[in-house]
Amino acid sequence: MIRVKYVGVLGVQGDITEHVHILEEVARKLGLGAKVIIVNTPEGVEKLSALVMPGGESTTLGKLLRAYKIDESIKKIAAKGVPIMGTCAGLIMLAKNAFGQKKGGQHLLGLLDVSVDRNAYGRQRESFEADLNIPAVGKEPFHGVFIRAPVIEKVFGRAKALAEYDGRIVMVREGNLLGLAFHPEISGDTRIHEYFLKMMKV
């Protein structure tokens, strides 16, 4: 019996449907036979073969993950080697440390060996787009969209930088974990999602 692979998008806040659409396209393109679903329960998370954590507001996201008891389930699948991609606020949630937190601190999953600075590029009006050199996904530049974006201030342990912008790290990988400061789901370029889904165990 062939086990269905479920690729999940965390359905708490952020660009949920955008990630779903691009993941469906990439799964077809790669011939994975995977089903893309939106998850917002511990049970939903724990049956996944891959998980995307979209952007949003990281403090709120942290509170919702605890309220729905999803945080421990994410840690469980991470320990099993399930690929997890966090974009923008998703990156912040994956990080071991986060600077620029609101009063009272912020709940983090503490999985990725990085320190991030929340909203390092400023407020909504300082959002911008930039072409990024990401050798891991190909020679052509990847058009990154930065919206109230964090920056990866420090990489340590097993984490490796995959891309920089203006001398600051904006994409990292640590084993089955992928963290991005930008939003790949709205660029029209599928290469990062392809790279991510290829991280799944066959």
Active site members: 88, 183, 185
Residues belonging to the chain = 202
Least Cα distance to 108 among 123, 124, 86, 77 occurs for: 86
Identify the three-state secondary structure at position 91.
helix
Phi, then psi, of 41 in degrees rounded to 5: -135, 155
Residues 126, 128: Cα–Cα separation, whole Å: 6
Other C-beta atoms lying within 10 Å of the C-beta of residue 111: 21
